Amino acid sequence: MTAYLLRRVLGLVPVLIGVTLLIFFLTRVIPGDPATAMLGQRAAPNLVQRLRTDLGLDRPLFVNLQKAQETGDWRDFFDSQYFSFMAGLLRFDLGRSIYTLIPITESLRHRFAATFELTLAAMVFAVAIGVPAGVFAATRRGTLADTAMMLLALSGVSFPVFWLAIIMIYVFSVTLGWLPPSGRLSVGLSLEPVTGIYVIDALLRGQGRAALDAARHLVMPALALGSIPLAIVVRMTRSAMLDVLGQDYVRTARSKGLSERRVVRVHALRNALLPVVTVIGLSFGSLLSGALLTETVFSWPGIGRWVYDAIAARDYPVIQGGVLFVAVMFAIVNLLVDMTYALIDPRIQYA
Amino acid sequence: MKKLVTALLALAFLGLASAQTLVYGTSGFPSSLDAVDSQDGNSLVVSSQITERLVDFEPGGTDLVPGLATEWSANEDATVWNFVLREGVTFHDGTPFDAEAVKFNIDRWNDPNHPYSGRDQGKTFVPWGWVFGGPIGEGNLIQEVSVVNDHEVQITLTKPAPFLPALFAAIYFQFSSPTAIMENGVAYGTPSVGAVGTGPFKFVEWVEGERIVLERNDDYWGGPAQVEQVVFRGIPEPTARLAELQAGTIDIAVLLSADDLATIENDPNLKAVIPETELNVGYIAMHQATEPLDNPLVRQAIAHAIDRDAIIEAFYGGLGVPAQGFIPSTMFGQPEPWPYDYDPERARELLAEAGYPDGFSVDFWYMPVSRPYYPAPQPIAETIASYLAEVGIEANLQTEDWTTYLADYQTGKFPMYMLGWNADYADPDNFLMTFFGPTAPNDLGWDDAEVRDMLQQARQVADPDVRAALYSEVGNAVAEAVPSIPFAHNRTLNAVRANIDGWIASPLGYSSVSLHSVSKAE
C-alpha cells in the first residue's frame, strides 16, 4: 500500500507539469491580454505599449533565445514568462493578481476554504439523502415509491441550478424570511478565521451565534449545488443495489435466514457502494471547480467565481493559480477514491 | 429549550445589526482601493468614501464644486494652473494634507520613475493614461507640479487645457496619505492595507469577496457623517441584490434591473432612486471600410430604418431616452436634434438611390455583456435586425467575448457594431473626442480632419461659448455623415430601504456620491 501510494504521488508530478503547460498556453491562446482587458475601450497604442511593459507581457512566452544569444549566458534562455511562473511555483509563490495586486496564495486560501465548505456541505447533503433514498428505491423496485423517487431524482438533474437558487431565495428569504439570501456571514458578526471554513471556525472559537449564522447561510447554496449530485447518487445507488441484490451471494445470505434488513445493509450495500464512491469522488472534484453558478447567485466568495472573473479580465496569474490548484485537488480526490476502494472491498489489492 | 428560543430570537434580528450601520450592496468586489490604480465602479464607490479629490461634482449633478481644493485659476492660455487647498485637513493617519501631499500623489501617478510609483511591482495607473494622456514622456498633459506654499500648488501643462478642473474631478484622482503609500508600497489599496485618505469614512477591514467595513471619521473637515459604519457587500446578481434589499439585509442596492421598477414601487419598505440624468450613450457604429457602408446614403438609410423609440420603450423599463446626439442632453454644446426619424419608406428610397434597391447583407456585432446604455444587448440587436430586414438589409448577428470585442472593434473587423460609453468627467470632450477624435479612422473608418481639428481647438479655448459652438458644430457634422447612430441614454435603477434618507445616485455611472449625508432611521 505504501509503495503504491508513493508511486501514485510521484506519478502526479509529470501530470501536474503537463497541467501547468496546458494552463499556461491555453490561457494565452485566448485573444487579448491583460493590457487590452484593462484598457478596454480606451486602448490607445502608447498606453497598451506602456502597460504591456509594466506587466512584463512583452517578454517571450516560453524561451528567450534572443537574449541568450545576445548575452551569451545560457541562463537567459529561461528568462521567459513560463519559466518565471515555474520558478515561483517551486517557491510556492504564485505571484499577484494583475488587477488587484493581491498575492494569489492569499486569495486561494480564502477562496478555496469558501468553495470547500460549500462543496462539502453539498456532498454531505447529496450522500446523506441520496444513498438511503437509492437503497429505499431499489428494495421497492417497481412500486409507486420507487417511481416517485426516480422522478424526483430526474427533476434534480433537470432543474437548472440557477433557477432553483433564485426560487429558493424568493421563497425562503424574501417571502418567509427564514434564511439569509446570500453571503457567508451576517453583517455585524465577525469571525477570526482558523481553517477558513466558517461553521467549523465559529465552533472552534466557541461563537455559537456565528456558527448558527454561518450554517444558515450555507443551507440554500448547499441545497442548490447538491441537487445534481443528489440525483446522480440516488440513481447510481439504486442501480448498483439492484445489480447486487440479484447476485448469488445475496440469495445465499437470504437462504441462510438472515433478516432482510441485514442482507440489504451488510451484504448488498457494502458491495453496491463501490461505484457510488467513484461517482461521489468525481462529483466532488467537479463541484469544486464547477460551483460557479451557485457562487454567483449566492455571492459566495469561492474559487469558481474568482477564476471566472479572472478569465474575463485575462488575469493570467489568477487563472494559472486557480486552475492549477483545482487540478491538484482533483488529483488528490481521485487518489482518495482509489484508496477508499480498498477499505470497502478487501478483494482489491494494491501492489 | 429556553436557550434555543433565545437563540432563535437573536437570529431573527441578526440581519438588522445596528441601526447605525449602513449596508451598501454593490454589483461586485473592488479590485483595489488605490483609486487611480483601479478603474471599476465597485472599487471607486468604496474608495471615494475614504479618499477625496481636489475638485468634485455637485451631488447628483455635473457642475464642479470645491473638493480638497477650494479655488482654482489659470493663466490666459490655460497652461499654468493654481489650486488653493483646503486648510486644516489631515489624513486618517495624521499626515497633514498640504501642497507636498498633493505633489507627492500627482508625481506618483505622472512620473514613471517616481520612487513610490510601484510600476515595477504591478501598479499601472491605467485611468491616468485615459484622462491625462499618459505619464511623463508618453503623451503627458501634466508637465510639472510645484509647491507654491503649504496650501497652494501650481500645475504646469504641456498644452492648454481649459477644462483641467473637470479632469481632476474624474473619480479616479483621489488623494492618499503619502505616509501610508511609502509604508505599504505595492500592498497599498489591497485588502491587507486598504486606503488612507481625508474622507468622511476610515478604512477598517476588507474580507476578500465578502465585505468591506468603514467607520465614521469623527474629525472630518465637513463634520462627522450621519451613520457610524458603512459595510459594502459585493452581490453580483441584480436579482440577489434586490432580494437582499427586500429581506432587509442591505440598505442600498445599486444597478438593479429596470424590470424591477414596479416591484420596488409596490413595496412600501423600498424607495427607488434614479439619477435625473445619466452621462452615458449607446450607439450603433458603421465602419466605412466595408461596402456599402462607405456610402453615406446607405448609412442614412440604416438610421431611418430603426425605430429607436419603440426599442427603448420595450427594453429600457421607462428609464431610457432616445439620444439626440452623442452627448447627454443636459450638457452644453448640443447639436441640432437627430434628423433621422423612423421612416422605412425613406430608408428604402435612400437605398435605391445608393444603388441597393434590393438591400444587402451585413455582419452586425452585438455586445456580449449588458451595460446601462444597452441593458439587453442581444434582444436589442435582434430587434434592430428585424427593422433592418423590413427595408431589405439582412443583418447577421455576431458576438464574441467582451475583451476580444473591445480589441477587435478598433481593427475594422466589425462592419456594424453596438458599443457605448460611460463618462469619466462631465464634459463634451470626454464623449466627442473619444468617438470622433484621433481614433475615429480605426473605430469607424471615418477620416474627417475638419472634425478632428474642431475637437482639438475646443480643447484649447477657454471661452465656454466658443467651446459650445464648436461642439455643436461637430455634432452637426456627425449627424450629416452618420458614421454612427446615437441610440439611447439610460438612467440606472437603484433602490434603498424606506428608512434611508439623503442618498443621491450619481449621474456618472458610479451610482453613488459621498455617503456623508446619508442617514438611517430606526
Q: What was the pLDDT predicted at A61?
A: 87
Q: Give the best residue of A96, A100, A161, A179 to mutate against chain B (max B CB count within 10 A).
A: A100
**Residue listed under C-alpha cell 430601504:** B497
Whether residue A209 and residue B10 make contact (CB cut-off 8 A), yes or no, is yes
Q: What is the C-alpha separation between A137 and A134, in angstroms, rounded?
A: 5
Phi/psi-derived region of residue B287, left when phi > 0, alpha when psi is between -120 and 50, beta in every other case = beta
CA B293 to chain CA centroid, nearest Å: 30
Instruction: Determine which of A76-90, B146-160, B258-272 has the lowest per-residue pLDDT on average.
Output: A76-90
Using a CB-CB cut-off of 8 Å, the residues of chain B touching A47 are 126, 129-130, 134, 138
Whether residue B407 and residue A43 make contact (CB cut-off 8 A), yes or no, is yes
Q: What was the pLDDT predicted at A247?
A: 84
Whether residue B441 lies within 8 A of chain A, CB to CB, comes out as no
Residues 6+ apart with CB under 8 A from B110: B128, B132, B135, B136, B140, B142, B145
For residue A107, what is the nearest residue in chain B, using CA coordinates?
A: B208
The 3-state DSSP composition of chain A as helix, strand, coil percent (nearest 5) reads 75, 0, 25
For residue B19, what is the nearest residue in chain A, using CA coordinates?
A: A188
Nearest to B244 among A47, A51, A182 (CB): A182
Q: What is the C-alpha separation between B461 and A330, in angstroms, rounded?
A: 63
Model pLDDT for residues A100-113, shown as the tens digit of each residue: 999 999 999 889 99
For A155, B213, B426, B491, B511, the CA distances from B279, given in Å and listed in that order, are 46, 29, 7, 8, 11
For residue B236, give the DSSP letter: -
Model pLDDT for residues B154-178, shown as the tens digit of each residue: 999 999 998 999 999 999 999 999 9
Smallest Cα distance from A280 to chain B, Å: 29
**For residues A234 and B522, which has the higher predicted lDDT (pLDDT)?**
A234
Cell numbers found for residue B160 = 492648454
For residue B24, what is the nearest residue in chain A, using CA coordinates?
A: A187
Mean pLDDT of all residues in chain B? 92
Judge whether B187 and B123 are in contact, CB under 8 Å.
no
* Amino acid sitting at position A174: V
Smallest Cα distance from B277 to chain A, Å: 23
Q: Where are the beta strands (DSSP E) in B325-400?
A: 361-365, 394-398
Whether residue B187 and residue A101 make contact (CB cut-off 8 A), yes or no, is yes
Using a CB-CB cut-off of 8 Å, the residues of chain B touching A41 are 406, 419, 421, 434
Give me the sign of the Cα torsion angle A244, A245, A246, A250.
positive
Model pLDDT for residues A179-229, shown as the tens digit of each residue: 999 999 998 888 888 888 999 999 999 899 999 999 999 999 999 999 888
Whether residue A181 and residue B233 make contact (CB cut-off 8 A), yes or no, is no
Mark which residues 363-422 of B lie under 8 Å from A by CB: 401-404, 406-408, 410, 419, 421
Give me the sign of the Cα torsion angle A101, A106, A108, A110.
negative
Q: Give the best residue of B406, B419, B443 to mutate against chain A (max A CB count within 10 A).
A: B406
Q: What was the pLDDT predicted at B209?
A: 87
Model pLDDT for residues B302-344, shown as the tens digit of each residue: 999 999 999 999 999 889 999 999 998 888 899 999 999 999 9
Which pLDDT band holds residue B19 (cuts at 50, 70, 90)? low
Q: What was the pLDDT predicted at A56?
A: 85
Residues 6+ apart with CB under 8 A from B37: A101, B123, B124, B125, B126, B189
Model pLDDT for residues B466-489, shown as the tens digit of each residue: 999 999 999 999 999 999 999 999
Whether residue A181 and residue B240 make contact (CB cut-off 8 A), yes or no, is yes
Percent of chain B with pLDDT over 90: 77
Q: What is the C-alpha separation between A147 and A155, in angstroms, rounded?
A: 12
Q: What is the C-alpha separation between A252 and A254, in angstroms, rounded?
A: 5
Residue ranges in chain A modelled with pLDDT below 50: none
Q: What is the C-alpha separation between B421 and B371, in angstroms, rounded?
A: 9
Task: Count CB-CB contacts under 10 A for residue A168.
Answer: 19
Q: Give the best residue of B3, B8, B31, B110 to mutate against chain A (max A CB count within 10 A).
A: B31
Q: Where are the beta strands (DSSP E) in B401-492?
A: 416-422, 484-490
Whether residue A47 and residue B134 make contact (CB cut-off 8 A), yes or no, is yes
Average pLDDT over residues B172-185: 97
How buried is residue A122: exposed, middle or buried, by Cβ count under 10 Å (0-12/13-18/19+)?
Answer: buried
Judge whether B347 and B294 are in contact, CB under 8 Å.
no
Q: What was the pLDDT predicted at B259?
A: 86
Model pLDDT for residues B207-253, shown as the tens digit of each residue: 988 899 999 999 999 999 999 999 999 998 899 999 999 999 999 99
Smallest Cα distance from B433 to chain A, Å: 11
Mark which residues 138-157 of B lie under 8 Å from A by CB: 138-139
Using a CB-CB cut-off of 8 Å, the residues of chain A touching B123 are 54, 101
For residue B421, what is the nearest residue in chain A, using CA coordinates?
A: A41
Q: What is the C-alpha separation between B34 and B56, in angstroms, rounded?
A: 18
pLDDT tops 50 at residue B12: no
Cell numbers found for residue A56 = 512584463
Whether residue A299 and residue B240 make contact (CB cut-off 8 A), yes or no, is yes
Please report how many Cα atoms fall inside a 13 Å half-sphere around the Cα of residue B197, on the Cβ side. 30
Q: What was the pLDDT predicted at B348?
A: 96
pLDDT tops 50 at residue B8: no
For residue B188, what is the nearest residue in chain A, using CA coordinates?
A: A101
Smallest Cα distance from A313 to chain B, Å: 7
Work out whether strand B280-286 and strand B484-490 pair parallel, antiparallel, or are unpaired: antiparallel
Whether residue B266 lies within 8 A of chain A, CB to CB, comes out as no
Give the ipTM: 0.87
Q: Give the best residue of A38, A46, A50 to mutate against chain B (max B CB count within 10 A).
A: A50
**Residue listed under C-alpha cell 493570467:** A316
Whether residue A46 and residue B134 make contact (CB cut-off 8 A), yes or no, is yes
Model pLDDT for residues B412-459, shown as the tens digit of each residue: 899 999 999 988 888 899 999 999 998 899 999 999 999 999 999 998
Question: How far apart, in Å, do the first and last CA atoms of chain B sit?
Answer: 31
Q: What is the C-alpha separation between A159 and A212, in angstroms, rounded?
A: 29
